Structure formats: C-alpha cells, structure tokens
A and B are shown apart, each in its own frame.
Chain A
Amino acid sequence: MTNVNSMKSQMIDSLWLPTVQEGGRVFYPRLRKNKKMKLLTLTNDRNFQEVVKFQENHLTQKEYTVAWARDSFKRIRLETESMGVVLEAGRYEDSILSATCPVHGHFSFDIINLDFSSQDPDLEDGRIEKEIESLERTIYLQNQERGNKFVLIYTTLIDSKNIDRDYVVRASDAIRINEWSGLNLSHFPQRISDGDLKKNFIEEVIKKICQKYGYTNIKINSSTLAMPRGQEQLYSIAGIFTR
C-alpha cells in the first residue's frame, strides 16, 4: 500500500483546482458568489483537502458533496466533517458495477473526482483496467441522469504492471450504445508496459469513453508526480466535458 497523502495537495494546486475553477466559469458563468457545484469524490478520511479547497474557492459547499470512503472506519471519520453524504461499500471500482451500489441514487454531478490513489489501492494485476471500467460505468450513470456537463478527474498510481488493452476494450464494448462502433485502440500494443504509453492510453480511453456517450472534451490536462523511494508515479488527468 502506498501513501500518497503528502502529494495530494500538490496535485490539487497544480491540476484539480484550476480545472474545476475553469469548469465552474464555463458551466455557471452567472453564479459569482458560489457555484454550488455538486461533487462526487473518492477521498480519504485523513486527507480530504480537495473538498476544503473547492469550498474555499466558492466552487462547492459541503452539503453538495458526496464522498466515497474505502471502509467503515474512514466513513465514520468523514461523517464528522458534515459533508452532504458519505458513502462506503467497499472498493468503488467493484461496487459501482453492482445495481445496488448506493451512489447510483446521487447522480448527476458537476465534478467527478475519481481519485483511486486515495482508496489504499492494492497494486495487483488488472487494477487500472478495473478503474477504467468503473469510470465508464460512472459516465454511463451521468449520461442516464442527464448530466450534460462535468469536470472529470481521474487519478491513479502508475506502477510496473502491464495494462491489458483487450480487457479495457471488452469491458467497454460490453455496454452497447447506438451508433457507437466500439472502442478502437488497435494502435496500442496488447500489453502496455511503458509508463508514458500507459498515460497516453489512459487519456485516449477517457476521451473515447466520454465521446461514446456524446460528451465533447473542452479541455484536458494531466500531471505526473514521482513517488518517493519507489518506481510508482502518481498520475492525474482532469478534463472539462459538455454536450
């Protein structure tokens, strides 16, 4: 298990906050005092700075926040922070795929912060593939609940494990959408091992998944931070999507 808490503030300042601020200006140009953007965030019980920062910058308020915690202990801690809703049902990437997942009833959102690095990830094979699968499920629900505009932030740990391209394609193509011919990623190798290629792959998959549901990408940026004493990198990508 890797501790990324210390690096989170850097990521918030350099990438998350500027993207959400811009999203706020695009989505709600007339709301000057507080944008009151509805936030879904995968967060940590001891480090939920993003909620505080977005609030301090008048982008959201605690009552408009749906926080996802990894386990019951973290949920109880987060509940002391008076956030709108705190949910916990195991790993987000497993839970969101089930029809009984408690987050389903809360869609749609203005800010979707899928920070998997905050959820004490086990660095096992297929981790990023499952995260991407759950990201599509999130966009699917956003689309179903007529969420026409949102800021999407995806954060993960890039480690030495390969990404299985075909798993990602199969999982995405299992959800059929009219006039969508399938996820074409044939220009990537079947097993992606190079770090930079992994990031390109993730960025392209996110753009294509959003496209699949009719969303256009206005802006997309990413940031990478090297983990101390390790080969892993903290990788985050943030984009503004509308239709």
Chain B
Amino acid sequence: MRTFNVNRLPELTRSTYESQQRWGDKNWKDTLKKHYKEIEKLLQKIGVFDSWKNILGNKYGKVAGELVPEIFLDAYISVHFACMGLYKQANICLRTQLETALRLVFFSMHPVEFKWWYESNEWYRGSLRTKDVWGDGYRYFEQLETVKKFDKICNGKLFNSIRRIYKILSRYVHSGVLSFQTTPVRVSPKYKIDAFRKWRDNFRDVQDYVNTIFSLGFADEFQGVSLNNQKKILKVVRNDKFKRGLRKSLGLKFRGRI
C-alpha cells in the first residue's frame, strides 16, 4: 500500500487500528481535561535530562550520549501511556528509567563493562549471579562517598527508598492482580483518576530519585555547573529532605529556598 488507506486494511488490523485511534484520543482528552496543569509540570521535570546530557556529554561521551536520551524517553513515554490510560505500561517505563539511570552512574566509572553490556554480554548473570550490571543489590552505590555522606545528613538510607519504589514498580512488570490493565468489566484502557494519581506519585518519586542519584553519582560535574543549572536540577527534586541532603553533602552554596 503506497498511500495509506484504512479501507484496504485486513479485518482484524483495521478493527485494532480504529479502536486504538479512538480510545487513544479519548483517553488523552479525558486525562488532559482534568490534569493538564499537572502533566505540564511533570513534563517540565523531564526537560532537565537535556541539562544532564550537556553536563555529562563531554566527559562520558558515548555512555551519556546513549543512556541519557533513553532515560528521557522512558519518562516521556510513561506520560504518553498514562495519558492513554495505559497505567501498567506507564509504570513499567518508570522502572526501566530508574534502572537505566543506575546503569549510567555505574558505567561512567566502568567503560569496559559498558562495552560488554553494549555488545549484549551478560557476564554478571554467570559468575556474579546478579540480575544487573552493578552487582548484588545496591551495594555498589552505597559505597560511593557522596551517597554515604548524603545518608548521614538525611539520617536515612537513600537506597532503602529506591528499593521500595523499585518493588512497587516491579508489581506492574510481574503483573500483580492489583496492577492489571484490565478489569472484569472492561478490557480496553480508560482514564481512571485513582490509577492516574498512583502513577503520578510514582513518576514524581522516580524523578526525585534519578536526579538525586545523578547529583551524587556525578558530584564533581554537578558541582562544576552554573548556579542556575544546579537550581534547575534541584527544583525537580520535590522531596525537601533530599534537597537539603544534596545541598549540604555537596556543599552547594546558594541562598534561599528552591
């Protein structure tokens, strides 16, 4: 078919295409009617990944160049899925966003492992018997001096919070009944305020964690950028305790609330 013509599509394809077009459009509109201001704010949060790409680009060229856009797009598509009423998929995107962010911090100091991973070598599953490149649990990140300092100031463990959100998001990946996309009375996606709010909270938390991890994992680069850029990034972090922890542990010297 050189020119697209819906009438020439086979039966099941045409029916699926038309259904997707219709409910996609309807759910986007139903969501935006109620939440357009919130959605704008969530999108503004992910705009900060362009800043991270610029901050990290020179020093970690390929690693940052490959992973930061992916992190951005996971968040972007999460918004898209949520606006389509696909809350399960929207939450799954958040888990992959978090994982890719952690990989970026790890790979920035491990170029050889990045090359292996890039070539689809899963060495870590063999001898290390772990499910991800950075090893067992989050011990690698917990050994970083900046993370230790941050934990001390915040009087808590950053990675305990990350474990918690990861567990929540994993329920969507492993399809726990409560995270099903379908219900006994309806199969196709629909705007639901409760599911939207749950996703929105997860989205905000994940952006908090990713920006906190980056600020600590790339502390030298973060400290080296202009005050305006530092403020722009900290503004994304909604959790006041994290914000305070970052300012104190990284010795960021600017006045006033962000």
Contact = CB atoms under 8 A, between A and B. Distances in A.
Contact of A89 (B47, B57, B72, B76): B57
B232 interface: no
A98 interface: yes
Contacts of A167: none
A100 B76 CA distance: 25
A164 interface: no
A76 B54 contact: no
A121 interface: no
Interface in A55-74: 71-73
B58 A98 contact: yes
Given A76-B76, A100-B61, A71 B47 contact: yes
Interface string A85-104: 00011100011001010000
B121 to A, nearest CB: 26
B224 interface: no
A73 B47 contact: yes
Nearest to B54: A90
B69 A100 contact: no
B50 interface: yes
Contacts of A73: 43, 47, 76
Contacts of B61: 100
A72 B54 contact: no
Contacts of A88: 50
Interface in A20-75: 71-73
Interface in A210-233: none
A89 B58 contact: no
A95 B135 CA distance: 35
B29 interface: no
A78 to B, nearest CB: 15
B225 to A, nearest CB: 12
A76 B53 CA distance: 16
Nearest to A94: B54
Nearest to A122: B228
B69 A72 contact: yes
Contact of B58 (A71, A72, A76, A100): A100
B47 A72 contact: yes
A72 B72 contact: yes
Contacts of A71: 47, 50
B79 to A, nearest CB: 11
B43 A100 contact: no
B49 interface: yes
B210 to A, nearest CB: 15
Contacts of A89: 53-54, 57
Contacts of B49: 72
A9 B232 CA distance: 33
Nearest to B61: A100
Nearest to B228: A122
A90 B50 contact: yes
Given A71-B47, A100-B61, A90 B76 contact: no
A45 to B, nearest CB: 13
Contacts of B50: 71-72, 88, 90
Contacts of B72: 72
Contacts of A90: 50, 53-54
B176 to A, nearest CB: 32
Interface in B59-85: 61, 65, 69, 72, 76
Interface in A93-118: 94-95, 98, 100
A100 B57 contact: yes
Nearest to A76: B76
A88 B61 CA distance: 15
A239 B69 CA distance: 36
Contacts of A72: 47, 49-50, 69, 72, 76
Contacts of A76: 76
Interface string B20-51: 00000000000000000000000100010110
A43 B69 CA distance: 20
Nearest to A90: B54
Closest 9 pairs (CB-CB, A-B): A90-B54, A71-B50, A72-B72, A72-B50, A100-B61, A71-B47, A90-B50, A100-B57, A98-B58
Given A90-B53, A100-B57, A100-B61, 18 more contacts: A71-B47, A72-B47, A72-B49, A72-B50, A72-B69, A72-B72, A72-B76, A73-B43, A73-B76, A76-B76, A88-B50, A89-B53, A89-B57, A90-B50, A90-B54, A95-B54, A98-B58, A100-B58
10 contacts: A72-B47, A72-B50, A72-B69, A73-B76, A76-B76, A90-B50, A95-B54, A98-B58, A100-B58, A100-B61
